[in-house]
Amino acid sequence: MGRSPCCEKAHTNKGAWTKDEDQRLINYIRAHGEGNWRSLPKSAGLLRCGKSCRLRWINYLRPDLKRGNFSEEEDEIIIKLHSLLGNRWSLIAGRLPGRTDNEIKNYWNTHIKRKLISSGVDPQTHRPLNSAAAAAITQLDFRNSVPPAPLLAPPSKDNSSSADDTNCNSTTTEESQAPPQQREESGGDVDLELSIGLPSQDKYMKSASFNSSSSAESKSIHNFLWPAAEGVVAAPPSSMCVCRTLGFHKGQFGNCQSCNGLYRYL
């Protein structure tokens, strides 16, 4: 029962990669490009599972990887994005050029979590630790009713659950990965105003979240991340653009009145 394994485990190496294996993989990808991971090991002369090759390349060998310590700025970005996206490491990584989802995930678990805890912030809810219990309860409530404010919405201190929010709503089916509720009253919290650029949208276009049909999860991510960078026109899949009801007309470009992002209403 179940699927056949992605490779013949009896004939594949596991564990740490050797320099020779790395070099073979690098050489092969330089010559043929990424993709077709299943057949790559054989073609490259590697006794590895395709999955393993892909991971090794993406997380370690890719030439555009930054590696090295995370800067304070990166820390802040990760914290902000995590507060909005939860454990969507690949999406978070997409906003940090040169960083991989695995790297960020590890960094989060080993450094940032601790940093937040030591500063009295719950790393899951991003709320002050002493109100974590209350936050958990509120979060459940929010999933059923009150959505969080969108990512780039102008700070609105007095309308935490306005009608606009209802249109740009965000729900998720994944309990453990639900974006924590935006806090509107927690003064000492992490500043959520995110003013970083969008280096590339390719990743989002390709990501499962964006390609999937209009799930609530997709709406959430689109709503948070799609607003275009300066000079960039974003054209989110129509099924996801929950903001279009807020002032767009079909075929037009414009700013979402709720999240202030640049959209095209398809």
> Shortest gap between Cβ of 139 and DNA (angstroms)?
15
- Convert residues 57-96 into a mask of x (bound to DNA by CB under 7 A) and - (unbound): --xx--------------------------xxxxx-----
List the beta bridge partners of residue 128: 121
Residue in 26, 37, 62, 235 binding DNA, rule: CB under 7 A: 37
Residue 26 sits in the site that holds DNA (CB under 7 A): no
Q: Which CB, 88 or 248, lies closer to DNA?
A: 88
Residue 17 sits in the site that holds DNA (CB under 7 A): yes
Residue 252 sits in the site that holds DNA (CB under 7 A): no
Q: Can you read off the two tokens belonging to residue 164?
A: 């606009």
Residue 206 sits in the site that holds DNA (CB under 7 A): yes
Q: Which residues, including other chains, have CB under 8 Å from residue 157's CB and lie 6 or more apart?
A: 184
Q: Which CB, 59 or 160, lies closer to DNA?
A: 59
Binding-site residue total for DNA (CB under 7 A)?
Answer: 48
Which of these segments, 71-79, 103-111, 191-199, 223-231, binds DNA (CB under 7 A)? 103-111
Q: Which residues, including other chains, have CB under 8 Å from residue 74's CB and lie 6 or more apart?
A: 96, 99
Residue 27 sits in the site that holds DNA (CB under 7 A): no
Residue 54 sits in the site that holds DNA (CB under 7 A): yes
Which string of DSSP letters, residue by residue, matches 167-231? HT----S-GGGPPPPPPSS-TTS---------S-SHHHHHSHHHHS-S-HHHHHHHHHH-SPPTT
Q: Which CB, 8 or 73, lies closer to DNA?
A: 8
Residue 36 sits in the site that holds DNA (CB under 7 A): yes
Q: What angle do CA 113, 117, 122 make, to 5 degrees?
A: 85
Q: Angle formed by the axes of helices 72-85 and 216-225, to 10°?
A: 150
Q: How many helices (H) and strands (E) does the chain have?
A: 12, 2
**Which 3 state secondary structure label does DSSP give 68?**
coil
**Which 3 state secondary structure label does DSSP give 79?**
helix
Q: Are 232 and 264 in contact (CB under 8 A)?
A: no
- Kindly identify the residues of this chain, within the stretch 115-174, that bind DNA according to CB under 7 A: none
Which of these segments, 137-145, 161-169, 209-217, 255-263, binds DNA (CB under 7 A)? 209-217
**Which chain residues interact with DNA by CB under 7 A?**
3-4, 6, 13-17, 35-39, 48-52, 54-56, 59-60, 87-91, 101-103, 105-107, 109-111, 114, 176-177, 203, 206-209, 211-213
